[in-house]
Amino acid sequence: MSRKFQVKTIPSRWLETDGRRLDCGPYMSGAVEARELLNSLPSAKEALNDLVSGIYHAGRESRTWVESPEHGVPFMGSTDILAADLSHINLISKKQVEANPNFKIGEGWTLITRSGTIGRMAYAHSGMDGLACSEHVMRVVPDEDKVKPGFIYAYLSSMFGVPLVISGTYGSIIQSIEPHHISDLPVPRLGDIENQAHELVQRAADLRVEATALLKQAGIKVNETFGLPEKLALSHRNFSCAVASSNNVMARMEATFHDGIAQESDRLIDAIPAKDYLIDLGVSFGETGRLKQVFVEQEFGEPFLTSGEIFRQIYAPSRFLSRRLLPDDNSWATQEGDLLLARSGQVGGIIGRGVWADSRFNSACVSVDVIRISAQNASILPGYLYAYLFLTDVGYRQLIRTAAGSSIPHLSVSDVQKLLIPRGESEFEEEVNDMVWKAGRDRAEAQQLEDEARILVERTIKEGGR
């Protein structure tokens, strides 16, 4: 439902069929129209509750966080279920998860955000199997003897499913939905279309898992080649003392720039025989700057992405900058193969993390909180540069140590340009580069397949279930 002011006239019988609700949400969202169309379909329909093994969430309870993977389970919040990369999420105590099995997620489930921004959905791929998840996410567990998991996801995330899901929203300040609000949601039975939709969604899920595995392997390959550790200590979360040379302190005086872990990362880089300063490699840096942000309808603008939106597995710009106000030289436009660096935020969060711009990002404009790094015409391959900076912990530590600012730390282009980049044999760098490009293509194809599944279901319903 649009955030714009809207007026709508409805038949009085809609009030009767929707429990005499007088708030405008259910009637403005398109839920009633969707239900009316579904009721008119000649094909059979079943209540969602009859096709699933359960619809539930974890319940409210305080969380016990841990640092060690030995004692913890990766924990997804309502934002994390939409993320492309789950390798940096927090850990919740294994004991707490064992005491409340409802925390755990299973492969093939449909995950729905149920409070705050309601109705965002994700299909749980095999990489999510066994992870823990917030009570702010509802689990829809399909009964695979009755329905294909991928079809349930494609339908619920369609133009028919989403309005029906969010129509049960209640609350004025913090809105929410509960499992019983969607349990009687009608699900049309579409025969072989269900199998086709499931296969498309499942293939998309598999591609995302393959992409994650490729990126992980690329990071491992860089670490092994240069003898870098997989993880350094979490210096920003622990008290520590270190001694720094007075010559180094003359340039930067922040303790975080000179702490023991930062110095350890320097020693690891210094031990590598071949390395280059990033500024000497012909890499270009794009800063959108504080453009005048006039947002318009999609047909009159270009996609605009914030530092939070670039990390989502689904590329779905919600705002569009006026095309008339953008520079004619396209200096603002992202290209496939660019590296998108989140430059602002809290240390330990997204700051210093990066995204590989696949084909979906072409011609998108990113916010001032994102630095675009382009190595398209540089003397280093972009995929290899991405692997070192964003897939190794040493690369991340070198980036994050340069953050300046107390309330909201900030990375500057000048500091990033001074980073030393380890160099290997050309065949090695090409192999890593190819792995990153392949992962990007997999992620773009995954979204295309998922969209195809959704369109297939929507078209079939519009055509009367045929």
Give average pLDDT by consecutive 10-residue segment, the chain, 466 residues: 60 60 59 75 90 94 90 94 92 95 96 90 96 96 97 96 81 70 92 97 98 97 96 62 58 65 86 95 86 88 93 94 87 94 87 96 93 93 97 93 82 93 96 98 98 97 80
| Average pLDDT over all residues of the chain | 88
Q: Is 380 helix (H, G, I), strand (E, B) or coil?
A: coil
Nearest to 96 by CA among 121, 118, 75: 75
Cβ-based neighbours of 180, under 8 Å, separated by 6 or more: none
Query: Phi, psi (5° rounding) for residue 107?
Result: -60, 140
In angstroms, the first-to-last Cα distance of the chain is 28
Query: What's the predicted TM-score (pTM) here?
Result: 0.89
> What is the spatial distance between Cα 385 and Cα 377, in angstroms, rounded to a whole number?
13
Q: Is 178 helix (H, G, I), strand (E, B) or coil?
A: coil
pLDDT of 161-216, one tens digit each?
999 898 866 554 447 788 998 999 999 999 999 999 999 999 999 999 999 999 99
Residue 65 burial by CB count (10 A; 0-12/13-18/19+): exposed, middle or buried?
A: exposed
> What is the spatial distance between Cα 97 and Cα 135, in angstroms, rounded to a whole number?
12
Residue 1's pLDDT is 43
In what side-by-side order are the strands of the sheet with 301-305?
A: 319-322, 301-305, 365-366
**Which residue type sits at 180?**
H
Specify the DSSP element, H or E, that contains 56: strand 52-56
Residue 281's pLDDT is 96
pLDDT of 20-39, one tens digit each?
556 665 655 566 677 777 87
Report the 10 Å Cβ neighbour count for 76.
Answer: 25
> What is the spatial distance between Cα 209 and Cα 253, in angstroms, rounded to a whole number?
42
Structural tokens at position 458? 């929507």
Report the 10 Å Cβ neighbour count for 83.
Answer: 19
Q: Is 79 helix (H, G, I), strand (E, B) or coil?
A: coil
Q: In this structure, what DSSP letter does residue 58 have? A: -
CB 115 within 8 A of CB 74: no
Residue 2's pLDDT is 47
List b or e across 351-370, with b for residues whose CB sees 16 or more CB atoms inside 10 angstroms.
bbbbbbbbebbeebbbbebb
Axis-axis angle for helices 149-156, 192-226 (nearest 10): 100
From residue 283, how far is each of 80, 286, 377, 383 by CA, in Å? Answer: 31, 10, 7, 13
Nearest to 310 by CA among 216, 443, 215, 403: 443
Residue 445 burial by CB count (10 A; 0-12/13-18/19+): exposed, middle or buried?
A: middle
Structural tokens at position 35? 């239900």
Structural tokens at position 114? 């149920």
Q: Are strands 110-113 and 137-142 parallel, antiparallel or unpaired?
A: antiparallel
Residue 67's pLDDT is 87
Specify the DSSP element, H or E, that contains 34: helix 31-40
Nearest to 294 by CA among 318, 320, 317: 320
**Which residue type sits at 169?**
T
CB 55 within 8 A of CB 130: no
